[in-house]
């Protein structure tokens, strides 16, 4: 009798696990001078952490699994406990004594909302995914982020180009759908590190800056406007890098998607009043969570994009990355209060 094919369900997300230590300051100081901290808070950070918590809060009914590395310290325990609180499986979220848990000091000026980041890479720099046994996970999707901020994953591999590409190839071979996200780094490393991974990616979800850096297209004009022609060209170039199913590019004005067979989809973001926006740190990950939820559930692409922009809008209501996320139903109600911007073309 032939062996029965495994039925896969759920999302396994690996990569950066970060604690954001947010400090509200009266002014960003000059060197050798003083700033006063008026308040402080702690929140989630990193692609898999934010996305899995967002999915849990959106009301995902499928399994959520964490992969990565944290330290055997207080921040590491906070992350593991938080995952368990949200029903996120931690079998593949390992601990180590070789480094401390990654964190970011986020200095936020009270008057202007401008933020300055001091990041400690910590355990994230060591994670190489060796603990993942694709035959022992029932997940249907494997998401990794952020490329360019995972030292061991960004390291070269003779056959695949990078270690991340090798891991994605193994996931695909085992029957999982793969997706990637990238950090918005101001560098010339995109072609060398991001492109190899795209050969083994089913769903590529980037913002317009990352898409432009990866492909070489200037997606914004000198005046800051969105160049929709360059955006389409960038999406096509990403497809040519080897994407198997879908490219999604998001930006403050909305989102654009292109399928492998050349179908294009646009979705405008919601027109939110300035007083509604408390912080933008987690909006990109919230958008990604909404899209991945839809893809996992088999929704049409327009529905996926709508879920993404509504989840992002929900995220903007809170200064931390995941504090503003509501249930999916509540997110999808937001356009009734805050209509979408004018249609994109």
97-125: pLDDT as tens digits: 999 999 999 898 888 778 888 999 999 99
pLDDT tens profile 232-254: 999 999 999 999 999 999 999 99
Q: Please, how many CA atoms are within 13 Å of residue 246, restricted to the half-sphere of its CB? A: 22
CATH number of the 11-27+37-337 domain: 3.40.1190.20
For residue 69, which of 148, 153, 9 has the smallest C-alpha distance? 153
- Predicted TM-score (pTM) of the model is 0.94
Matching residue, tokens 């893809």: 295
Q: What is the pLDDT of residues 2-58, one digit of tens each?
A: 444 568 999 999 999 999 998 889 999 999 999 999 988 899 999 999 999 999 999
String of DSSP letters for 117-144: EEEE-GGGGT---TT--GGG---SEEEE
> What's the pLDDT at 5?
53
pLDDT value for 242:
97
Measured CA distances, 232 to 71, 89, 104, 205, 319 (Å): 42, 38, 34, 14, 32
Q: Cα 206 from chain centroid?
A: 8
pLDDT tens-digit map of 265-303: 999 999 999 899 888 889 999 999 999 999 999 999 999
pLDDT score at 108: 85
């Amino acid at each position: 009798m032939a062996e029965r094919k495994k039925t896969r369900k759920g999302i396994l997300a690996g990569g950066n696990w970060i604690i954001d230590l947010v400090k509200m300051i009266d002014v960003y100081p000059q060197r050798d001078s003083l700033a006063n901290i008026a308040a402080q808070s702690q929140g989630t950070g990193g692609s898999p952490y934010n996305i899995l918590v967002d999915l849990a809060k959106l009301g995902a009914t499928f399994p959520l699994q964490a992969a990565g590395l944290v330290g055997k310290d207080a921040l590491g325990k906070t992350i593991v406990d938080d995952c368990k609180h949200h029903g996120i499986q931690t079998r593949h979220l390992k601990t180590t004594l070789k480094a401390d848990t990654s964190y970011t000091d986020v200095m936020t000026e009270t008057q202007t909302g401008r933020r300055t980041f001091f990041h400690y890479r910590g355990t994230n720099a060591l994670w190489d995914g060796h603990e993942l046994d694709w035959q022992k996970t029932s997940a249907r999707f494997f998401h990794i982020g952020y490329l360019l901020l995972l030292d061991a994953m960004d390291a070269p591999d003779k056959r695949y180009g990078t270690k991340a590409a090798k891991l994605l190839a193994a996931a695909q071979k085992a029957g999982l759908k793969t997706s990637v996200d990238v950090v918005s780094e101001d560098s010339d490393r995109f072609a060398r590190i991001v492109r190899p991974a795209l050969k083994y990616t089913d769903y590529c979800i980037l913002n317009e800056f990352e898409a432009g850096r990866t492909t070489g297209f200037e997606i914004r004009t000198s005046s800051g406007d969105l160049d929709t022609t360059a955006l389409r060209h960038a999406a096509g170039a990403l497809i040519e890098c080897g994407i198997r199913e879908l490219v999604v590019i998001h930006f403050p004005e909305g989102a654009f998607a292109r399928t492998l067979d050349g179908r294009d989809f646009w979705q405008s973001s919601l027109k939110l009043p300035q007083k509604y926006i408390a912080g933008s740190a987690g909006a990109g990950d919230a958008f990604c969570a909404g899209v991945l939820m839809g893809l996992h559930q088999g929704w049409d692409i327009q529905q996926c994009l709508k879920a993404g922009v509504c989840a992002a809008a929900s995220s903007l209501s809170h200064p931390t990355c995941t504090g503003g996320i509501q249930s999916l139903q509540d997110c999808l109600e937001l356009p009734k209060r805050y209509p979408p911007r004018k249609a994109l073309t």
